[in-house]
Amino acid sequence: MSSPPRDPGEVLSQDVVVVLVNPLHPGNVGATARAMANFGLERLVLVDPLALDLERARWMATSGKGVLNRARIVGTLDEALEGVSFAIGTTARKRRWRWPILTPAQLGERIHHEDTTAILFGREDSGLDNEALARCHAILRIPTGPKASLNLAQAVLLTVSRLHDVARTRGWTPEKDTPVDPDSEEGHRLQIPKRSPAKRVAPLGMQHAALNKTLDLLDRTAYGRGMNREQVQVTLGQLLQRAQPSHAELEILLGMLAKTRYAVENGADEH
């Protein structure tokens, strides 16, 4: 029996995570929180923010102070992606390997078919590096003119506003409740409840671990010695994402990899 349709508003607030990787300017962090609050998103994660001045960020956040107050600050991207099943990275540069490319409108549809989606935005001067993109299943491209130059907060605003538009076409009507003062004790205590989805895809961290173990195993073979590791990493990552393996399925795969590695290293079957 199919699961009941998910409430589009809950998808926006509970199941979409905006991740800023090494943001440089506190004003962009605050403006990001403001854009998220305007369009119904609540989950913000900052990865190793550089010299973050929270007071300056709050000055730019205005109505998004509640989102900013509840933001998670973590040291690594792996921490930011805990519990995430689908990750997409934003980039305007051409990349060597062919990740699937989605527009904000296409992403707006995709989030309603995933358990938890993370949208990664890189630092203002350099964007996301290849290591960060290697953890993503797809690339987000914002349609622009030929001379476009978006800053971080603008890119977030354009993206989340499109997600909001798609949610409305799916029947969501935002409630006009009396807002909670984001600087009040209640605003600081507010927690977003996490939905327990009927279908639980293995989290991205577990998928990444299986991918790394596969690459390490291939490194011990003739195939691995002749492969381009980055290309294989992207290809296998896309394959895992399309398969949407469960936790139990990845446990089986990890067991297979462990036994295969033992056989490769010892030249015999394990008894």
- Specify the 3-state DSSP secondary structure of 116: coil
Q: Which domain holds residue 106?
A: 8-182
Q: Do 38 and 69 lie in a common domain?
A: yes
Domain check: are 90 and 122 in the same one?
yes
**Going along the chain, which residue ranges are E strands?**
16-21, 43-47, 72-74, 86-90, 101-102, 117-121, 138-140
**pLDDT band at residue 269 using 50, 70 and 90 as cut-offs:** low
Q: Please compute the mean of the pLDDT values over residues 196-218 and round it to a whole number.
A: 69
In a domain, 249, yes or no: yes
Q: Kindly report, residue by residue over 145-204, the tens digit of the pLDDT.
A: 877 678 899 999 999 999 999 999 998 988 754 444 444 434 443 444 444 444 467 777
What pTM was computed for the model? Answer: 0.70
pLDDT the model gives residue 176? 57
Note the pLDDT of residue 111: 95
Query: Residue 85: inside a domain, yes or no?
Result: yes
Per-residue confidence (pLDDT) for residue 159, from 0 to 100: 96
- Say if residue 23's pLDDT is above 70: yes
- Closest by CA to 241, choosing from 119, 87, 90, 80, is 87
State the average pLDDT over residues 16-27: 95
Q: Does residue 6 carry a pLDDT above 90?
A: no
